[in-house]
Amino acid sequence: MRSNPNYDVIKEPRGFIKCLEVFLAIFAFACATGFSGELSILQKEVVTGTGNPKLHKGVFTLSYPFSDDITMVLQEDMNDTTTMAERTAPFGERSKTEFFVVIGVFCFLYSLCMIIYYVFFQEDNSSNASVSTMLSPPVIDFVFGAFWCLFWFFSSCAFASGVLAIESSADLSELVAEGGAFHPYCIPTKITCIVTNAKYATLTVAILLGFLNVFVWLGNIWFLWKETPWHNSNAQPAATIQPPPQQAPTAQAI
């Protein structure tokens, strides 16, 4: 451990980008896990006379990890003697969303650990690229950075696919249409249904942050590449070829 913490490393690209990775990872998995959207179906009785129609509202809260089926308590008709029944629509996108969150959490922890190492443990001779070895901190950080960059890309693609599936599966307009799971409770001749879908802006932000993390990690491994022995071996100037010494012409005999 260093006697004096080296906070100047935060001003360098590798330290500054590590701080960006910490905050972007927090925001990415926080947007995914903190999402909460309300789905509702307002049932309104169809009346032929002048009486006031009866109303009933079914509500379902959509939230992470999106593993529960959409279940609402609805009425088949609006008579007082009718008992309410639960109706379930198949739903579940847990694996894709959890994959994204797990990658975000691990990247956050890894970046935080590397910042602590750079500040409190790394010696000053790390800047001497000529003594770098295959097990030096820049090489290890470069390999792990490439690994996390790849998994950020995979998890962001999977999460984007999962969000599209969530929006499609939780579209109440389709669920109350003919053939939908909730259609028996929304028959136009008896009951009119007014649906309210969830807003997915938070999940869209999480997707954008996921792909932004990919570009940030690409920038990180680019700067780390410059500190590895592979870059330094290529950057060494070629030896200057000296021309052969010229010999003075021999004097001709008179």
- Asked, for residue 247, whether it belongs to a domain, the answer is no
Whole-angstrom CA distances from 186 to 46, 104, 197 are 11, 41, 16
CA atoms within 13 A of residue 249's CA, in its CB half-sphere? 3
Query: Residues for the chain: how many in total?
Result: 254
Burial of 70 (0-12, 13-18, 19+ CB in 10 A): buried
- Asked, for residue 1, whether it belongs to a domain, the answer is no
User: 146-205: per-residue pLDDT in tens?
Assistant: 999 999 999 999 999 989 988 888 888 988 888 888 888 888 888 888 999 999 999 999
Which token pair is 109? 């922890």
| CB-based contacts of 97, cutoff 8 Å, min separation 6 | 32, 64, 65, 66, 159, 162
- Asked, for residue 246, whether it belongs to a domain, the answer is no
- Give the SS3 label for residue 57: strand
- Asked, for residue 60, whether it belongs to a domain, the answer is yes
- Asked, for residue 142, whether it belongs to a domain, the answer is yes
Which token pair is 226? 């410059």
Report the Cα–Cα distance between both ends of the chain, in Å, rounded. Answer: 81
Average pLDDT, the chain: 80
- Asked, for residue 241, whether it belongs to a domain, the answer is no
Which band of pLDDT confidence, cut at 50, 70 and 90, is reported for residue 106? very high
Contact 33, 54 (CB under 8 A): no
- What is the residue range of 218's domain? 7-230
Which band of pLDDT confidence, cut at 50, 70 and 90, is reported for residue 254? very low
Q: Nearest-5° angle of CA 200, CA 196, CA 202?
A: 10
DSSP state of 68: S
What are 60's strand-pairing partners?
Answer: 39
User: 217-238: per-residue pLDDT in tens?
Assistant: 998 888 877 776 665 555 445 4
- Asked, for residue 51, whether it belongs to a domain, the answer is yes
Instruction: Work out the number of other CB atoms within 10 angstroms of the CB of residue 251.
Output: 6
In this prediction the pTM is: 0.79
Say what percent of the chain tops pLDDT 70. 78
CA atoms within 13 A of residue 81's CA, in its CB half-sphere? 0
- Asked, for residue 114, whether it belongs to a domain, the answer is yes
Total structural domains within the chain: 1
